Amino acid sequence: MDVRSLIARIRDGEVPQAADLQGFAAGLADGSVSDAQAGAFAMAVCLKGLSDEGRVALTTGMRDSGDTLEWDLPGPVVDKHSTGGVGDCVSLILAPLLAACDVYVPMISGRGLGHTGGTLDKLEAIPGVNVTPDAAAFRRIVGDVGCAIVGAGGNIAPADARLYAVRDVTATVASVDLITASILSKKLSAGLGAMVLDVKVGSGAFMKTQDEARVLARALVDTANGAGCPTAALLSDMNQPLAPSLGNATEVALCMEVLAGAPAAPRLTELSLALGERLLTLAGQSDPRPRLEAALSSGAALERFARMIHALGGPPDMAEDWRTHLPKAPVCRPVPAPADGRVAAIDGEALGLAVVGLGGGRARESDRIDPAVGLTAVAGLGHCVATGDPLAWVHARDAATAERAAAQVSAAITLGTAADTTPLILDRIDP
């Protein structure tokens, strides 16, 4: 493969050969492609795009640049991916819920990015949990428990790690083709038999409009199916936090209530069930909704979650005594409503950044996360308040950061006479 010729063809709007794109991915992984060539390739793709076939070829080439998993299990192997939002802790509910329905979930997750939280950071709020077990332990936990939520290993899609680092410094992150290949190369390396995607739309998401979210969802679904993995997507509303708690331990606590059957977060519960229903249908189960609801109400999903936590090094009694184990912030104060009214709009990104300012996320890669801080009881769209009623509760390390976060939360929530609410599930993208 001539890397320069490949870059030139993409630059000139020509359709590259699949073998050349796969060879380029291999060159990223083994170092034969230079940083300059990687940057030029990323810019050419960003400006001219790839064909559908080219996107599949780049994705599978990046997937195959490192380790890929194969499974010998008595049920389907499935997973879910979210594009990220505020108060999005679906993974903590969905993975054990699916495991309780006789499928296996090797969920490779990530850390917080910008204003959005990370599943791994949330899990690490539980004392003792190790989200980077070795490959043998990962396989054992998936086989024994039915699910394991972990970080990517060192040799998962190394071509993506290399290209992403180049994209980050060359203004080429915002390419649907490259975003698609980056997401799917890591997910598909887990040897999945089916996958569902949750593409977020709104003020708390990276995608602010339905049109741009639909373009990304269509690219992800078509590429995953082209790579041999049956995949569908839901577009979900993120114009308000998915759950009324934001942070790490605060979100885990909410998930424990949901898994225990409490009506603590209706939107979070409904989206988890909807994603599970679509995924189990893709995996070959008929009419799976009643089974999912039963697994949640019976405590079967809670039992799977507790077993997974213990297998990852966490406490053995998480199901019964989770309140004892989760850290609590020393300062807890309300955010009073400045006037009577109804919650008319919420700036989800601003709420996420308030959590980052408390120490619940990272402003820089080297920052350490405080697992105890965050927000709880965040008022949703349409909620009526009187002057002085709490719009949310701030959990902070000290009074000064609590005061600063309270001001940010107050500024992020707009009161009015009516709320412009949208459905939770905005669209469905099928193969």
139 DSSP 8-state letter: H
Residue 258 half-sphere exposure toward CB, CA atoms < 13 A: 29
Which of the following is catalytic: 63, 186, 214, 291? 186
Return d(Cα 327, Cα 127) in angstroms, integer: 9
- The answer to whether the CB of 219 falls within 8 A of the CB of 182 is no
DSSP string, 166-221: HHHTTT----HHHHHHHHHHHHHTT--SEEEEEEEESTTSS--SHHHHHHHHHHHH
119 counts as catalytic: yes
310 counts as catalytic: no
Which of the following is catalytic: 55, 63, 81, 395? 81
116 counts as catalytic: no
Phi-psi region of 332 (alpha: psi -120 to 50; beta: other; left: phi over 0): beta
Which of the following is catalytic: 82, 172, 189, 269? 82
Return d(Cα 181, Cα 179) in angstroms, integer: 6
End-to-end CA distance of the chain: 33
Whole-angstrom CA distances from 408 to 289, 348, 389, 403, 413 are 39, 11, 17, 9, 9
- The answer to whether the CB of 199 falls within 8 A of the CB of 73 is no
245 counts as catalytic: no
Which of the following is catalytic: 20, 79, 121, 198? 79
Which of the following is catalytic: 63, 80, 200, 310? 80
Which of the following is catalytic: 122, 187, 291, 395? 187
79 counts as catalytic: yes
Work out the widest C-alpha separation in the chain, in whole angstroms.
68
81 counts as catalytic: yes
182 counts as catalytic: yes
Which of the following is catalytic: 55, 63, 167, 383? 167
Instruction: Quote the tokens at residue 367.
Output: 């920052």
83 counts as catalytic: no
Which of the following is catalytic: 59, 119, 203, 401? 119
Instruction: Quote the tokens at residue 172.
Output: 């080429």
H or E element that contains 429: strand 425-429
Return d(Cα 76, Cα 276) in angstroms, integer: 13
368 counts as catalytic: no
- The residues annotated as belonging to the active site are 79-82, 119, 167, 182, 186-187
